[in-house]
Homo-oligomer: A and B are copies of this chain.
């Protein structure tokens, strides 16, 4: 379930980047400090009929944007991605889901650092799972929370 307060910004987030939107990825749930997204197999198969490596990447990478919305003030901070590693463990022959969360303590520490330095890294590890709960890929990466400069207008909050 997507909590009502996140509905508008989540819709913009999932729709404002064409390369994300055209995968058909769906936000399944969002509440404070938590989000879950689903990449459909349909439209995302590769030359073997299982999920294309790049679609799995998109599902993993979007975790940074989703947790940003679920954890931080999107009128004050914007997200970027610095690096992502994806390790493919098994072919994914179903839709694939990704869950991302921060503890209140983790979010507070990130925001405290961002308040001091104007930016703060978010290090995360995530499992991408098929419909049977099998981990098909492991994603790890560094995203970053940055202060929105005065006068900067992001499409995602415009």
Contacts and interface: CB of A to CB of B under 8 A. Distances in A.
Interface of A: 16-20, 22-23, 43-48, 52-55, 57-58, 61, 80-88, 154-156
A83 B139 CA distance: 10
Contacts of A57: 54, 57-58, 61, 84
A44 B16 contact: no
A53 to B, nearest CB: 5
B47 A156 contact: yes
15 contacts: A18-B43, A18-B44, A18-B52, A19-B43, A19-B46, A47-B154, A47-B155, A48-B154, A54-B54, A54-B57, A57-B57, A57-B58, A81-B88, A82-B88, A84-B85
A80 B57 CA distance: 15
Nearest to A81: B53
Given A17-B46, A20-B54, A57-B58, 9 more contacts: A17-B45, A17-B52, A19-B55, A47-B154, A47-B155, A54-B54, A81-B88, A82-B88, A83-B85
B47 A17 contact: yes
Among A18, A22, A45, chain B packs the most CB atoms within 10 A around the CB of A18
